[in-house]
Amino acid sequence: MSALGTHEHRHISPTPETAEAPGVSPIRALWSVFGDRRRPLVLAVVLRALAAACMGVPVAVIAWSVEQIRTENLTQNDALGASAVVVAAVAGQYLLWFGANHLAWVSTFHAVGEGRIDALRHVERLPVGTVAARGSGDISAVLGADHEQIALFAHAGLMNLVGGAALPVATLAGLAVVDPLLAGVTALSIVAAAPVFVLVNRAFAEQSLSRADTLAEANGRIVKYVQGIATARSFHQVGPRLIWYREAVARMRAVNDALAVRITPLAYVSIGVVFLGVPLVVAGCGYGLLGGQVDAFTAVVFLVVVLRVYTPLVQVAVEAEALRLTDASLQRIARLRSLAPQSFPARETAWPVGHELTFEKVRFGYRADQPVLSDIDFAAAPGTTTALVGPSGAGKSTLLALAARFHDPDAGTVRLGGVPLTDLTQDQLFDAVTVVFQDVYLFQGTIRDNIALGRPEATDEEVQAAARAARCHDFVSALPDGYATRIGEGGQTLSGGERQRLSIARAILKNAPVVLLDEPTSALDPLNEQAIQAALGELTAGRTVLVVAHRLSTIRDADQILVLDSGRIAQRGRHEHLLSRPGMYRRLWSERERAANWRLNT
């Protein structure tokens, strides 16, 4: 991570473990996610319920037939008609089932795909610090696993839930025609199991959100481990020694144990209470037969059909569990989308005059009670270089982040050409400012794609001209595929100096009038540093430049040096002026001179 991100993990945005998800019912949240795709999903639910109702038609036909046989009124035409009704019901059931599944699949995958894109666009509008505070694991889980859970439930689980609930209702309705009292006895166990089911559902909802958050954290740690596997192996922090990852897995196991040990038995209790209806129906039939209130044909119907009422409810219980997992995913998506985006004007209302960058009484902190910068007041004129120096933690990179509007100040104003950054549109701001980080990130794709990141419409000649200015054309041309060479994620197939020069090439190609440099030469060998210093000369010529400097020798010719200490500007001036006066700058320079004379004692 670049220096601009070193403090951003302490941003006041809620972490996945502590944030409160908005209190929205899962069905309402699902309704919101589907947007314009709601109508086909609703139609799919209706068709699935009708398909389940068709499954109850044979029960009603059997009950009617039994009654006709008992009263000796069944004719051949009645039998043929009953058979035709059953065949039509079965055929209708499959047609409705097919239509429901088709609509559910199509609407679900369109809605979830659009939802992923919308969520990603929302992330793009968030302040950079807020995104860093969420963590890559949490955001990738929301965009990936959480949306996948919604897709799985909406096209399959929801249909099974509706079908599993509609079939017992249809069957009970048919049984009520035969004998209302026995139908009431059949429904009694379902009523008794309802409170247990509600209790289990509530407990599972709480654990599901905790499980999803813990899984996101564990996945984030896996990603970090893979990215840093070389470092982990070099320090023998792999396998059982990988404590920081094992802790996340242990929390995951604890959450799953809570689901399995405490909640699953309760779920089985609710199912068991439902199936207590079987002996109740048997007892009711026996009592009715002995008392003469129930005839043998009716008893046979109830004894044969009773499991058709209870068995689908097991599927309802299973899909209710999936509903809670989906509810957790919906809450996590809603939690991400509830983060306030960084606001920009919809259209241009102010136009900067020139490209002077000014800070006016700026105060900022990642926590409200811990300011990182206080009373920052300076101006960086066009065509000049302003260097930011000071000890670690003084606020240098944070100041650079405010200039790029990765954060907004808590107080005071940052202006570009006399206009507050908050009054500029995204295009105005991003066209005016470019940042070269200390730790370069290159995206998967070709070298040309990475150079042209800021100007995708650039011609090959313009890309190569920027590469020449950044002193990277020679090593790119020497690659087997030249500018079409594909690089791995993060640019790990290139050296640090090569990645840095490519990042300068894309900044040169972007041609922004304001350049922010986060010490791009601090960790390079002398040859690479010399090449990059020459490239930076091409990049910064005639521009407004802010540079965070750790190597003081690189900013001797800066037009203005700001010395930061504990978030305040302790000194300001040119190199010779600051060196001639007692203070932090002279102490830093003395330390630099002493370090330069360090030798290995043999």
| Residue pLDDT, tens place only, 353-368 | 989 999 999 999 988 7
Query: pLDDT over 90 for what percent of the chain?
Result: 17
Closest CA to 307 of 268, 286, 277: 277
DSSP state of 153: I
Question: Of all helices (H) and strands (E), which one includes residue 386?
Answer: strand 385-389
Q: How high is the pLDDT of residue 16?
A: 38
Instruction: Give every CB contact of residue 98 below 8 A, 6+ residues apart in sequence.
Output: none
Q: Once rounded to an integer, what is the mean pLDDT over residues 126-152?
A: 81
Pair of tokens at residue 404: 């790029």
Q: Which two tokens stand for residue 389?
A: 């120096």
Note whether 548 and 400 are within 8 A (CB).
yes
Instruction: Tell me the average pLDDT of the chain.
Output: 80
More confident: 290 or 372: 372
Q: What is the CATH number of domain 24-337?
A: 1.20.1560.10
Write down how long the chain is.
Answer: 602
* pLDDT, tens only, 493-551: 788 788 888 888 888 898 899 999 887 655 455 555 666 677 777 777 788 999 987 76
CA atoms within 13 A on the CB side of 279: 3
More confident position, 444 or 565: 565
CA 465 to chain centre: 38
Helices (H), 452-572: 460-469, 473-477, 496-510, 526-540
H or E stretch at 434: strand 433-436
Residues near 528 by beta carbon (within 8 Å), at least 6 away in sequence: 495, 496, 497, 500, 501, 521
User: Rounded distance, CA 559 to CA 431, Å?
Assistant: 24
Hey, where are the domains in the chain? 24-337, 357-596
Q: Determine the pLDDT at residue 56.
A: 72
Please report the pLDDT score of residue 137 as a whole number: 73
Between 217-221, 223-227, 381-385, 539-543, the lowest mean confidence (pLDDT) is in: 223-227
Instruction: Give the pLDDT confidence of 87-124 residue by residue, as tens digits.
Output: 998 898 889 989 988 888 888 888 888 888 888 888 88
CB atoms within 10 A of CB 597: 6
Angle 165-168-173 from CA coordinates, rounded to 5°: 125
Are 116 and 325 in contact, with CB atoms under 8 Å apart?
no
Q: Which of 3.30.420.40, 3.30.1370.10, 3.40.50.1820, 3.40.50.300 is the CATH number of 357-596? A: 3.40.50.300
Task: Please state the pTM of the whole predicted model.
Answer: 0.68
Q: What are phi and psi of 487, to 5 degrees?
A: -115, 150
In the β-sheet with 373-380, what is the strand arrangement from edge to edge? 373-380, 357-364, 411-416, 419-420
pLDDT for residue 47 is more than 50: yes
Q: For the chain, how big is the Rg over CA atoms in Å?
A: 34
Q: Closest Cα partner for 572 from 372, 388, 414? A: 388
Instruction: Give the residue-averaged pLDDT of 580-594.
Output: 82
Count Cβ atoms within 10 A of the Cβ of residue 73 and give its class: 0-12 exposed, 13-18 middle, 19 or more buried: exposed
Which residues, 6+ apart, have CB-to-CB distance to 463 below 8 Å?
448, 451, 452, 483, 505, 509
